[in-house]
Amino acid sequence: MAVGVAWAALLLGLWLWGRDLTDDGDLSKAPTTGDVAAVGRPVGQELPAAHAPLSTSPGGRPTEVTVGALGVRAGVTETDLDATGAVDTPSYRTPGLVGWYAKGPQPGTAGAAVLAGHVDTAGGRAVFHRLGSLKPGQPVDVRREDGSTARFTVEDVKIYDRRNFAPRKVYGAHLPGRAELRLITCAGTFDSERDAYSANVVVHAYLSKVTPAPTGRDAA
């Protein structure tokens, strides 16, 4: 029950964002800020230049995400809006999977692709339990169905209070036309009375490199 409700804030944000993409839902009353903490860029650190966005393609579906700094290498499953308008997430029975919101951009294409994972389940820690420890400049690799790999560079890591969740700020691209990535999970303190976490941790990253699918002997 606790884990299920903990996802409610995240799903609400995704639901609002999904409405904004599909039917221009009214978000005029959404908070303009909800950022309560951030890991900024270390002084003097130059991040890699952004790579040009890829084109949307049948082979652009993400199949695996690797976050070397966290020791994460996880499969990716598609999520969608369910009959109630909420976004489906990976099953709690598969806490090692990451969900990609398939009605949003493909990782590597223009816009902000969203990958969400559990922080924990009834069985213990889950795939994104250390997500908040990522630092600017660290890479996140997303393998695509066509065999190519889109590398993203972490730009910042922020925590958004559940009561002041700002969908446009979280899911909107930082720079128009740039290929970006969002990694999201629950964060903050657990409120036993409400059976919910107080916040979400959101990693903002941008496309910095693309490795084509291996060919010939490299593919063997």
Decide if 220 is inside a domain.
Answer: no
| Residue 201 contacts residue 170 (beta carbons within 8 Å) | no
Q: How many domains does the chain have?
A: 1
Decide if 109 is inside a domain.
Answer: yes
Residues 6+ apart with CB under 8 A from 93: none
User: Around 186, how many Cα atoms within 13 Å sit in the side-chain half-sphere?
Assistant: 24
Give the pLDDT of residue 153: 98
Decide if 56 is inside a domain.
Answer: yes
Domain extent at residue 79: 2-28+36-214
Give the pLDDT of residue 1: 47
Examine the pLDDT at 37 and tell me if it is beyond 80.
Answer: no
Decide if 50 is inside a domain.
Answer: yes
For 70-115, what is each residue's pLDDT tens digit?
Answer: 999 999 999 875 554 445 568 878 999 999 999 999 999 999 999 9
For 158-201, what is each residue's pLDDT tens digit?
Answer: 998 877 777 777 888 999 999 999 999 888 776 666 656 678 89
CATH number at residue 87: 2.40.260.10
pTM: 0.80
Decide if 157 is inside a domain.
Answer: yes
Return the top range by mean pLDDT from 43-47, 148-152, 163-167: 148-152
Q: What is the spatial distance between Cα 136 and Cα 76, in angstroms, rounded to a whole number?
A: 23
Q: In this structure, what DSSP letter does residue 196 have?
A: E
User: Around 160, how many Cα atoms within 13 Å sit in the side-chain half-sphere?
Assistant: 25
Label residue 67 exposed, middle or buried (CB < 10 Å: 0-12, 13-18, 19+).
buried
Decide if 199 is inside a domain.
Answer: yes
Q: What is the spatial distance between Cα 51 and Cα 33, in angstroms, rounded to a whole number?
A: 28
Decide if 182 is inside a domain.
Answer: yes
Decide if 219 is inside a domain.
Answer: no
Q: Calculate ∠ Cα 175-159-107, nearest 5°.
A: 45
More confident residue, 194 or 137: 137
